[in-house]
Amino acid sequence: MSPVPFSIWRQHAANSARMQKKCRVSLFSLDPDRDTPERVKRYVTGFDQTFIGLRGSDSELSPTMQDYGVTSIRRELPGSMIKYTIDHSTFGIAIRGLKPTAKFNRRYATMEDFNPAVS
């Protein structure tokens, strides 16, 4: 869970009342073995109390990852104290609506790409 995107989102949201009204920042963990619900919550709310953290098992996450084009791979690190890392794609996803039936709208590589959609 890279801190850079969260810091950027927080900065842009703080400067845009419209973005605060129209957008909800959420993250889903790709490492359910390490990322307990408490750890995910502590991490995302450390950036902003309105950010949402989600987690699930690999089988629960797989359909969502496929729907949104998210890829990840677990890389074992023999001899390392952390034992493994999770390499993953990095981008923002805009979803139109907050209902369970909401559909994928657009993928954003950077906040500069995203800003025109909320301005």
Q: Token pair for residue 82?
A: 């952390």
List the chain domain ranges. Answer: 3-57+90-118
pLDDT in tens, 18-29: 666 777 777 888
Give the pLDDT confidence of 57-81 residue by residue, as tens digits. Answer: 889 888 888 877 888 899 999 999 9
pTM given for the model: 0.65
User: How far, in Å, are 5, 68, 84 from residue 22 at the CA level?
Assistant: 18, 20, 37
